[in-house]
Structure 1
């Protein structure tokens, strides 16, 4: 039998690339607002479920939604219960891909490819570029599906496949395992379900086996989170734990009532006169919706189980509520609005400090990987979001008639925000230097790590002193901070000199770690300078 494996594999490649390309475009198009909405609207579990659903529909990736959530938990801006709600919502949102595939609009695929390519090639704005990426990805998704689907029709006549399909129909556990393994390997439940839709449409698999395959993809999709959590943060492990517990238990219940569930699907889809591909999409949507509704009342208990299975202390949740920065107060009471902005700035400083500590963990942990780096970038996005919100709020205040004292406070707050934001940028620089060393599979010398540890500890002390000076205007602390700055300069100079000696003596064998070490020292020293810039701004009128 002539099976077009090139068409199956090539079409599948275009299909999964289209899903990812479209999702990346949607994510870029939405920008940092995704993180802002997640942070802002998930104080209640039911809202967390809704936001998780909407965000996953927008970016077409439950894994990406989970990654953003882990970053917020790790930064102390979200509790595990909120994260659990978002994960539940993501399970609902991820079903939209199967629904879109069920619409069978692949005959228009190349029109979308053409439109997307033209927008990317001739669009002169970033937003247009991202829109073109979404349209092109959408077209590639369906074009790949069309190529793959035509080739899969012949697969149903392959003796080995017929044997497997028959066995899966008789023993759905085989389809469940196959769906789990395939999704774990491909790391996309949407892609696996798309294949199942095409095979079922071609008559190559019974509905019973197809639904079991879909159930298996629900378990397989948790493998991405499990891999990300290995050696990762407590937040990553527990979020992955909630996701796994929810999907595995839900799937077990689904398999226990598989026969009944398939009969219900057949009855309802018959009434609605749905196509075979839409039948699978319907089964997927209803199952994920029902399991979410079933488990939602037990969300706290699930989190309690995960906390016992994965012990440890979560970061204390930081109450960074940007709703405090309402647009009315600056017009009515500018002085009170300045005090509100100051409170939010202090909370921003805590996020900055935590992210610096995450960069140090990234340095010290030899097993740290992409997930740890991603969490640093997520926290940096939070810092940038706070920066924009606070600056916009301060500009609103500045348009009012301010007395001399309020104007000085306005100027001070503005300088504090910008210096904190720069510390955040330098923290990302540090993580990028550490990433270069890890990718080179080399390490810093023990002496170099100790030198950096000393500089980190001094920086934490300086940042805390700086924020105390900002709130108390204690001049004695300011003078002590200037001495700390001199000491940081000395540490930077001496560490640099010792580094040159180690290179001369051949103790620093890695070219990468040797070349970036001085840049790291310089970044640490500049972070300390920004602390002093804040303190100097407090006493600017004393010059």
Structure 2
């Protein structure tokens, strides 16, 4: 049986997701015993009947929240609390992911256009990085995008430093939003987002609907988490916060916990927001308790960019290293220089503890940026020394220099990288032909052997590029992007045909060299003429390939 078209599969996935979400909300509201209703003063509505029936009894309180209410000593109390926390954290993380992905899709081409026009002034990069990250709600996504753009040659390394600093500031928007306590908008946002996503055909409306639905799921997760922590567990959590303050051992403990937790979830926005949520429960009473944790979260978020840069060129690796150095040096400066200043200034600004934590997060990032922006160029020279260039070996030809798996979420940047890698593949094909030509002409067996190694590496690289663009084509990309994918595949096919002929020439050259057969003058001239024509054609195709995708 023939497989369903991609559009049909996408429609099926949409309806399955909608059905799952509807069933979840149905259980949340109507199934007796799954949830309880808790007032803001923690008084419990008597159980019995459905949740909706219980909710009608709460008329004098607008802070109606959904939460499992385990009875003390109940055998299922621990299990129910654990399930509620896991579900709440899952909804929260999925909401941030869904919102970030929708906003990235909606703004992808514009981001590329703006980044392409970025000037060399670090302050412009700082502002741009702040705005982009505030829009897409993920500093990790912005940093990975910047690493990809540097790798693709769309950004210079020095320009990228300002953008990365701005990304550190923009990521604090999520924490500020969580501190606003917009719980009452959670379910309406989910419903509105679902309507926009399922019942409108316009791509931009669908992407906006995805972002709105993610916003609602984010706050639904917050509602569940905030009210799922039983009183007996709060003392334990409170003790953990106290362990993170006051002593060197406690500070190191807080740094470690924040770093590991953020490295696991790949987002400092999530981990710092969780701290804000716990502060709503009265589990944080002093900023001293959270400063090491926040600094650890800032360090842990660097792992995303570092992992994304493993298979990139040196410039992109320097950009990822810049992100890591910023956050590590920023943590050291906070602990040694600005610690007491923050403890004095933040309470003066005002607000409850959740708002103070959110403001602290912003101030740490702003101070770091103010310190680093004036020294961007000297710092870039330091990183150039710290991450030096390396000589490319023959075996490294098969390794992609531009492709980054993590950037497939941004098709615009991913296509730029695929084009760069395809042009590089064409250059390797030219090198194979040149090697085959010289080995065939001079009966050089060593050169012919090296040509076979290059050819095998080129074929491996072609397969890697092909897998990358085919995987990209299976994603939710625009019609224009699909055409670009098709052009890349055609270019790979044409380059590969030339590579196949070069391999045949290499085999013929080995036979000729083994028999030590000389090449006559007229034949040599004719072979050189053909070689130059092929080389010129490959050069022209490689040069024009990026133009086809503008």
Give the TM-score category using the shorter length. 0.5 to 0.7
Equivalent residues of 2:398, 2:458 under 8 A apart: no
Equivalent residues of 2:115, 2:154 under 8 A apart: no
Report how far residue 124 of structure 1 moved: 1.3
Structure 1 residues without counterparts, runs of 5 or longer: 315-356, 384-422, 432-445, 458-484, 500-523, 536-543
Return closer, same or farther for 1:534/1:260 CA change in 2, 3 Å cut-off.
Answer: closer
Are positions 1:284 and 2:361 aligned together?
A: yes
Q: Which residue in the other structure is 2:260 paired with?
A: 181
Given the alignment, which residue of 227, 244, 248 partners 1:168? 244
Return closer, same or farther for 1:455/1:130 CA change in 2, 3 Å cut-off.
Answer: closer
Deviation by residue 1:72-102 (Cα, 9 ceiling, x = unmatched): 2223332222111000000000000001111
Deviation by residue 1:492-531 (Cα, 9 ceiling, x = unmatched): 36859999xxxxxxxxxxxxxxxxxxxxxxxx99x95983
Q: How far apart, CA to CA, are the structure 2 residues paired with 1:72 and 1:211?
A: 33
Q: Which residue in the other structure is 1:427 paired with?
A: 422
Report how far residue 31 of structure 1 moved: 2.8
Q: Which residue in the other structure is 2:500 paired with?
A: 492
Are positions 1:232 and 2:308 aligned together?
A: no
Are positions 1:259 and 2:340 aligned together?
A: yes
Report how far residue 449 of structure 1 moved: 5.8
Q: How far apart, CA to CA, are the structure 1 residues paired with 2:354 and 2:210?
A: 26
Provide the secondary structure at the position in 1 that maps to 2:282: coil
Q: How far apart, CA to CA, are the structure 2 residues paired with 1:533 and 1:204?
A: 61
Q: Which residue in the other structure is 2:228 paired with?
A: 151
Deviation by residue 1:7-46 (Cα, 9 ceiling, x = unmatched): 1111111111111111110111113111110121343111
Q: How far apart, CA to CA, are the structure 1 residues paired with 2:457 and 2:227?
A: 59
Relative to the length of structure 1, the TM-score reads 0.62
Q: How far apart, CA to CA, are the structure 2 residues paired with 1:127 and 1:29?
A: 6
Q: How far apart, CA to CA, are the structure 1 residues paired with 2:147 and 2:542?
A: 32
Aligned residues: 381
Q: Which residue in the other structure is 1:299 paired with?
A: 376
Return closer, same or farther for 1:155/1:137 CA change in 2, 3 Å cut-off.
Answer: farther
Return closer, same or farther for 1:164/1:201 CA change in 2, 3 Å cut-off.
Answer: same
Q: Which residue in the other structure is 2:398 paired with?
A: 364
Are positions 1:201 and 2:280 aligned together?
A: yes
Correspondence 1:95-106 to 2 at 5 A: 95-106=172-183
Q: How far apart, CA to CA, are the structure 2 residues paired with 1:373 and 1:447?
A: 32
Return closer, same or farther for 1:136/1:363 CA change in 2, 3 Å cut-off.
Answer: farther
Deviation by residue 1:136-160 (Cα, 9 ceiling, x = unmatched): 011011111111111246475344x
Equivalent residues of 1:156, 1:204 under 8 A apart: no
Report how far residue 177 of structure 1 moved: 2.0
Q: How far apart, CA to CA, are the structure 2 residues paired with 1:363 and 1:296?
A: 37
Deviation by residue 1:381-410 (Cα, 9 ceiling, x = unmatched): 459xxxxxxxxxxxxxxxxxxxxxxxxxxx
Q: How far apart, CA to CA, are the structure 2 residues paired with 1:229 and 1:180?
A: 19
Tell me which protein shows more helix as a share of its residues.
1
Given the alignment, which residue of 189, 212, 218 partners 1:112? 189
Q: How far apart, CA to CA, are the structure 1 residues paired with 2:261 and 2:126?
A: 27
Equivalent residues of 1:152, 1:199 under 8 A apart: no
Correspondence 1:74-153 to 2 at 5 A: 74-152=151-229
Relative to the length of structure 2, the TM-score reads 0.61
